[in-house]
Amino acid sequence: MEFSKETRKKFEQVLQRYPRKEAALLPTLYLAQEEFGYLSAEVVQYVAELMEIPAPRVYGVATFYTMFNKEPVGRYHIQVCSNVSCALRGVEQLVEYLKEKLKINVGETTPDKKFTLSTVECLGFCDNSPAMQINDDYYSDLTRDKIDEILEKLK
């Protein structure tokens, strides 16, 4: 297990941005997630060695943030906000709807590895809640119809 040449380069650049190596841990974990899909124990070990930080500390950071996946995820990672504003605007029913539609529970991946469904903390779209994020894109003012439409477009 090793970063590709390209990621390695990005990593070197990331290091430049911080006064201490340890400070670059979060962006490095992101790079690792991009490269390897998710942060398996092996990946955490690799990053720990690369950054010269004890592995338990790296694993602590990796597990603290929900943005890091500790399990493999599908091609599309649907992250639905479950915080207050979205909750007040009925996101719970939408999560139920997604569960029925995809036939999986929260935290699971469809058998064809296409979708993973998670709930996350506030996405910063409270003014247009309910909101969700799929990979790097955000969707707000969600309704059932809108969800149908969005998922339809994802191949």
Partner 1 sequence: MPKLVIDGREISVPEGTTILRAAERLGIEIPHLCYHPKLPPVGLCRLCLVEVEKNPKLQASCSTPVAEGMVIHTESERVLKARRGVLEFLMLNHPPDCTICDKAGECKPQEYVFQCGIAESRFIETKRVNPPQDFGDKLVFRVDRCILCQRCVQFCREIAGMEELGVFNRGGRSVIGTFRGKPVENKYSGNMIDICPTGAITSRDFRFKSRVWNLTMVPSICPRCSNGCNIFIEFKDNKILRIRPRDNEQVNQCWICDEGRFGHHFVNSLDRLTTPLIKNGGKLSPTSWEEALGRAAEGLGRVIANYGAESLGGIGSAWCTNEDDYVFQKFLREVVRTGNIDLGKIREEKDESYPGNDFLIQPEKAPNRRGAEEMGISPGEDCRDREGMFKEAAGGKIKAFLIIGSNPAKETGAREALAKVEFLVVQDLFLTDTAKQADVVLPAASYAEKEGSFTNFRGRVQWLNRALRPRGEARPDWKIICELANRMGGDFSYPGAQEILKEIAEKIPAYREVSLEKLRADGILISTK
Nearer to partner 1, 12 or 121 (CB): 121
Query: Smallest gap, in angstroms, from Cβ of residue 92 to partner 1?
Result: 19
- List residues binding partner 1 (CB under 8 A): 41, 44-45, 54-57, 59-60, 63-66
Instruction: Report what 44 binds from partner 1, ligand FES, none; CB cut-off 5-8 Å by kind.
Output: partner 1
Beta strands 137-139 and 132-134 are antiparallel
Query: Smallest gap, in angstroms, from Cβ of residue 64 to partner 1?
Result: 5
Written as one letter, the residue type at 81 is C
Nearer to ligand FES, 51 or 142 (CB): 142
- List residues binding ligand FES (CB under 6 A): 81, 83-86, 122-126, 129, 131
| Calpha distance 111→72 (Å, rounded) | 12
Backbone torsions φ then ψ of 37, nearest 5 degrees: 90, -45
Both structure tokens of 17: 């941005």
Q: Of the candidates 30, 127, 140, 29, which has an alpha carbon nearest to the alpha carbon of residue 80?
A: 140
Query: Smallest gap, in angstroms, from Cβ of residue 26 to ligand FES?
Result: 21
Dmax (CA) for the chain in angstroms is 49
| Calpha distance 18→116 (Å, rounded) | 33
Instruction: Report what 41 binds from partner 1, ligand FES, none; CB cut-off 5-8 Å by kind.
Output: partner 1
Query: Smallest gap, in angstroms, from Cβ of residue 64 to ligand FES?
Result: 19
